[in-house]
Amino acid sequence: MNGWIILDKPLGLGSTQAVGAVKRVCREAGVGKVKVGHGGTLDPLATGVLPIALGEATKLCGRMLDASKIYDFTVAFGTETAGLDAEGEVVATSDMRPTLAELEAVLPRFTGPIEQVPPAFSAIKIDGERAYDRARKGEAVEMKARSVTIHALDVHEASAGSLDSATLSAHVSKGTYIRSLARDIAHAAGTVGHVTMLRRTKAGPFDLSQAISLDKLNAFGQGAAQSEIILPLEAGLVDIPALNLSPEAAGAIRQGRVWTGGCTDDGLYWGRDSEMRPVALIEALAGTLKVVRGFNL
């Protein structure tokens, strides 16, 4: 049992709970104990693409965490909350409502490399304790700015005239907080705001077209075909070129040895054997092939 379940995570379900649901369904399906991990936390108040790795695919969770993500999110203008989302007390209000033109005019400020202050209600650790635990206890939480990259940002949907809300789409780097982005966009537009809808539409190579519902996941435990639920391990490697290995090279790589005599450009590859099975993530450098991460398939 090695591969990916791409869950269209429903509202109210945490990422850890989603992993637990996959473990439960695998037990119900009779596949035995399976190592499970997720490729990027998604808040309970968010929905959308949550890659869940099974077996050897869990070795790629780190790459998935580092991958860029795409989100659709709705900002309600005029009210800012403590959590910068639909939960939490109101901490600021404004009668100002931006027009579409005013909103679009500030978006270039948030495209490219930016500095961003994460929300106080976040999982970032401060002196060994989660920021949201400190915030819930009423402590003043000072969050340090961090560098992130917004690859693309545009208005997805908005009405005419003064805007009570607008839906935007953002393609962002690892570590970006959409709630903070919404807060800062609202401030730049001369008002305050908070996120009322957050949906991840893409995480690394995976998008909504590959995602399954919780009901379909549960069907796996009731006998649905594995092929309808689980994507192969290599589905998480489509953004890396494949490298066909000779039987001798595949054998050496499986043993963790450096293989010399490889004729390919320098860079990162995933090596596959003559049966098209993934063998390892490989770094090619000056005619040698070195294992970055091996797969036991």
Average pLDDT over residues 191-199: 97
Catalytic residue check, 43: yes
- Give pLDDT, residue 136: 66
- Give pLDDT, residue 131: 60
Residue 154 pLDDT level (bands cut at 50, 70, 90) = very high
Distance CA 147, CA 13 (A): 29
Residue 40 pLDDT level (bands cut at 50, 70, 90) = confident
- Give pLDDT, residue 112: 97
Average pLDDT over residues 195-208: 96
The percentage of residues in the chain with a pLDDT greater than 70, rounded to a whole number, is 92
Average pLDDT, rounded, for the chain: 91
- Give pLDDT, residue 138: 64
- Give pLDDT, residue 133: 63
Asked if the model's pLDDT at residue 192 lies above 90, the reply is yes
Asked if the model's pLDDT at residue 183 lies above 90, the reply is yes
Asked if the model's pLDDT at residue 123 lies above 80, the reply is no
Asked if the model's pLDDT at residue 294 lies above 90, the reply is yes
- Residue scoring higher pLDDT (143 or 48): 48
Asked if the model's pLDDT at residue 148 lies above 90, the reply is yes
pTM of the model: 0.90
Q: Measure CA of the first residue to CA of the last residue in the chain; give whole Å.
A: 10
- Give pLDDT, residue 224: 84
Exactly one of 43, 72, 184, 273 is catalytic; which is it?
43
Q: Which of 91-105, 124-138, 234-248 has the lowest mean pLDDT?
A: 124-138
Average pLDDT over residues 163-180: 96
Residues 6+ apart with CB under 8 A from 3: 53, 54, 55, 57, 230, 231, 232, 233, 235
- Interhelix angle for 214-221 vs 15-28, to 10°? 30
Average pLDDT over residues 103-115: 97
Asked if the model's pLDDT at residue 195 lies above 90, the reply is yes
- Torsion, Cα 163 164 167 173, to 10 degrees, reads 100
Smallest CA-to-CA distance from 51 within 68, 66, 72, 37 is with: 37
Residue 237 pLDDT level (bands cut at 50, 70, 90) = very high
- Give pLDDT, residue 161: 87
Paired tokens of 275: 């049966």
